[in-house]
């Protein structure tokens, strides 16, 4: 069984967290390169970061800046920042009350299949939501976790966007737990027009303890990826 180092970062600036991800990501890649060059068999580490960010909008490498509906002054007025980043996907929002998970895994330790990786991330969220009586689903042709996909009331509750290099992953998922959904009004989320965004709080009509949600995600992640966790 693989071990994953768990980093609980609390509330942390997006750029600081991105830099930290990049550092861990590069360390794993450098170790893989060194193993290949020298014939060593040093095990590569796996990490999972849990974090909440202050208000921020991020745009994936193939995203459309036109999906951000605020200018610089309006961003500042909202107390939000903006970054164009190196993950897949379009634009999304991160903020307080949202559980963001960044797995930095060497998929050579698991399976070299990015589609399977994305589906297992989605499944960990779907099983977490099910424990609260929320029926999360996949939407054909779209990543993330949705509710009521075959109805006019389809709405997204968890976004996914990842980057991989040499089978090492970074970026990850953002689950709306107690998120202020008003901030999504200022973007076209994930570049998808005409579909709403929701949160666990909105669906359950109550606040949900973040630590409780984290523990449930960890449980399902552990089962699906067959890993154990250790404090970083």
Which backbone phi and psi does 12 adopt, to 5 degrees? -145, 140
Q: Which pair of tokens denotes residue 98?
A: 């949202």
Residue burial 152-180, b: 16+ Cβ < 10 Å; e: rest: eebbbbbbbbbbbeebbbbbbbbbbbbbe
Which backbone phi and psi does 69 adopt, to 5 degrees? -100, 15
Q: Which H/E stretch holds residue 161? A: strand 155-165
Question: Could you tell me how many residues make up the chain?
Answer: 232
Nearest alpha-carbon partner for 18 in 106, 72, 86: 86
Query: CA-based diameter of the chain, in Å?
Result: 57
How far is residue 170's CA from residue 59's CA, in Å, rounded to a whole number? 15
CB 87 within 8 A of CB 121: no
190 carries an active-site annotation: yes
Torsion, Cα of 201, 207, 210, 214 (10° steps):
-50
Q: Which residues are catalytic?
A: 190
């Amino acid at each position: 069984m693989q071990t994953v180092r768990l980093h609980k970062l609390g509330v942390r600036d997006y750029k600081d967290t991105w830099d930290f991800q990049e550092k861990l990501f590069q360390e794993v890649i450098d170790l893989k390169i060194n193993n290949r060059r020298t014939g060593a068999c040093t095990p590569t580490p796996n990490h999972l970061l849990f974090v909440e960010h202050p208000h921020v909008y991020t745009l994936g490498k193939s995203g459309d800046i036109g999906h951000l509906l605020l200018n610089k002054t309006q961003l500042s007025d909202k107390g939000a920042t903006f970054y164009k980043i190196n993950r897949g996907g379009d634009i999304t929002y991160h903020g307080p009350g949202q559980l963001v998970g960044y797995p930095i895994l060497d998929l050579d330790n698991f399976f070299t299949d990015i589609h399977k990786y994305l589906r297992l991330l989605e499944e960990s969220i779907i099983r977490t939501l099910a424990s609260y009586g929320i029926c999360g689903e996949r939407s054909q042709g779209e990543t993330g976790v949705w509710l009521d996909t075959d109805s006019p009331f389809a709405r997204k509750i968890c976004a996914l966007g990842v980057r991989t290099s040499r089978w090492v992953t970074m970026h990850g998922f953002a689950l709306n737990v107690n998120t202020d959904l008003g901030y999504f009004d200022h973007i076209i989320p994930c570049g998808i027009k005409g579909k709403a965004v929701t949160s666990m709080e909105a669906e359950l009509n109550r606040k949900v303890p973040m630590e409780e949600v984290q523990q449930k995600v960890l449980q399902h992640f552990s089962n699906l990826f067959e890993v154990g966790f250790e404090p970083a």
